[in-house]
Amino acid sequence: MTDHRMPLYVRRIAWWAIVAVLAVSCHRPAPPVASPAHPPVLVVVSLDGFRADYLDRPAAVHLRALAARGVRASRLIPSFPSKTFPNHYSLVTGLYPEHHGIVANVMLDSMLGRFATGNDPSGRDGRWWLGEPIWVTAERQGQRSAIMFWPGNEAAIQGVRPHWWRRYDGRVTNTERVDQVLQWLAMPVDSSPRFIGVYFSDTDDAGHRVGPFGAATDSAIARVDSAVGALMRGIEALNASDFVNLMVVSDHGMANVSRDRLIPLYDYVAPESVTVVDLEPVTTLIPRAGADAYVYAALHDRVPHLTVWRKDSIPERLHYRASARIAPVVALADEGWTVVTQRADNRWQPGETRGAHGYDNELPSMGALFVASGPAFRQGLRVGPFANIHVYSLMTHILGLRAAPNDGSLSAVQEMLRR
Ligand code: AMP
Ligand code: ZN
Ligand code: ZN
């Protein structure tokens, strides 16, 4: 039957159906391109403390090559505070720390006690980790996930673990980490992971020791860049470029600190009046019973280079109020300043330069890395700064997963996706 022989009402319905399909396809990004034989896979690499502008250092050759065939952001804006655990967990949940519960590297909870990073058992207790990380989203929707170190991967979160995970061990070499990822990618399609996370600490370690401009930081950039290069070569050798999306991010940047820029807290407030939960550069304090007014008055507008808030007056842009784990008094040092309890704590050598992070998350020095390439991404695109809470939406979209409720949105990052 040809078109003009259709009854008029059938032709009208057909016409409106075509218009509706076109309208929907114009407003939503098309699903990621993948070979019919293999569904899309997402590999997310975290380079701890890789400051956004390290991407233009001479050593970052493979990362720039990846950016040239994909997308790079001028910087990824970390969530506040610009510390490792809060930001790794914002990246994978799309939630601000006030909502995902990891509000600091060190914090107190009235029920759970004290949380700390490193080899502390708290990191393995799922009750600390709120929200839904991408690997739980994936596992719940029938996709396997595999993590080669990521804060939170050692805990059963909502009772769910990644299919493959490892207890954190900083001695595992970068080569072993890359080889593990390539082994996962080489698995048969029906059992292989669709989400893979892997973590490297070199740039954070060196950045703390010598600051962002020290020679050891350039060597660390070269080491993590060559790990990314090995992953890129491995993906090509596996003929997996058609279905693997490679996203390289960091959690925060790094600022120079100096022994000449110290803030001695106990010069201003009596030690017996407060519990210091975390110290630098975000100082979180619990005043002892009855000392609340004294502690606030002693510190607010009194300490050079330190901004002091009561929890309920922390600026909204920091999204740092809603959690009971945030201490009643929060103080933030200016960029490059270090809070110590007393001056005698200064164990640095004269002239020594070091690095720190945790400062105001909108500072360019705290800016993190975002580079991504693969079938889901446009090629050779540079985008402006964007907040790391949007990365979860990007990840769920690429994997075709229904996102859990979160603070980010796909529309903030949609321009980088292929149509
Ligand atoms: P930060 O103190 O914020 O600079 O945290 C960086 C440090 O966190 C790294 O040098 C590691 O020692 C530690 N770290 C990173 N990932 C993990 C993890 N998955 N589990 C335990 N500790 C970790
Ligand atoms: Zn970090
Ligand atoms: Zn660090």
Q: What is the DSSP string of 240-307?
A: -TTTEEEEEE-S---EEEETTSEEEGGGTS-GGGEEEEE-SSEEEEEEPTT-HHHHHHHHTTTSTTEE
- Set 2, 84, 93, 341: catalytic member: 84
Q: Whose CA is nearest to atom 18 of ligand 1?
A: 151
Active site residue 84: yes
Is 205 touching ligand 1 by the criterion CB < 6 Å?
yes
- Strand 282-287 to 274-278 pairing: antiparallel
Q: Residue range 309-327: average pLDDT?
A: 98
pLDDT tens figures, 141-162: 999 999 999 999 999 999 999 9
Is 250 touching ligand 1 by the criterion CB < 6 Å?
no
Is 82 touching ligand 1 by the criterion CB < 6 Å?
no
Q: Can you tell me whether residue 15 is helix, strand or coil?
A: helix
Query: What is the band of 33 on the pLDDT scale with cuts at 50, 70, 90?
Result: very low
Residue 26 has pLDDT above 80, yes or no: no
Tokens of 215: 């020679």
Please identify, by atom number, the ligand 1 atom nearest to the C-alpha of residue 205. Answer: 10
Best residue among 82, 84, 90, 359 to mutate for probing ligand 1's pocket (most ligand atoms within 8 Å of CB) is 84
Q: Which residues surround ligand 3, an ion (CB under 5 A)?
A: 204
Please identify, by atom number, the ligand 1 atom nearest to the C-alpha of residue 105. Answer: 3
Is 168 touching ligand 1 by the criterion CB < 6 Å?
yes
Query: What is the band of 343 on the pLDDT scale with cuts at 50, 70, 90?
Result: confident
Q: Residue range 384-399: average pLDDT?
A: 98
Mean pLDDT of the chain: 92
Residue 18 has pLDDT above 50, yes or no: no
Is 129 touching ligand 1 by the criterion CB < 6 Å?
no
Q: Residue range 104-120: average pLDDT?
A: 95
Amino acid (1-letter code) at residue 406: N
Predicted local distance difference test score (pLDDT) of residue 351: 79
Rounded to two decimals, what is the model's pTM?
A: 0.91
Which ligand sits closest to the CA of 280? 1
Predicted local distance difference test score (pLDDT) of residue 119: 87
Tokens of 201: 């600490």
Question: How far is the centre of ligand 2, averaged over its atoms, from the C-alpha of 222 (Å)?
Answer: 18
Predicted local distance difference test score (pLDDT) of residue 153: 97
- Give ∠ CA 239-240-244 in degrees, rounded to 5: 160
Q: Can you count the helices (H) and strands (E) in the chain? A: 10, 19
Is 170 touching ligand 1 by the criterion CB < 6 Å?
yes
For a pLDDT cut of 90, what percent of the chain falls above it? Answer: 87
Question: How far is the centre of ligand 2, averaged over its atoms, from the C-alpha of 83 (Å)?
Answer: 6
Best residue among 174, 177, 204 to mutate for probing ligand 1's pocket (most ligand atoms within 8 Å of CB) is 204
Q: Residue range 306-332: average pLDDT?
A: 98
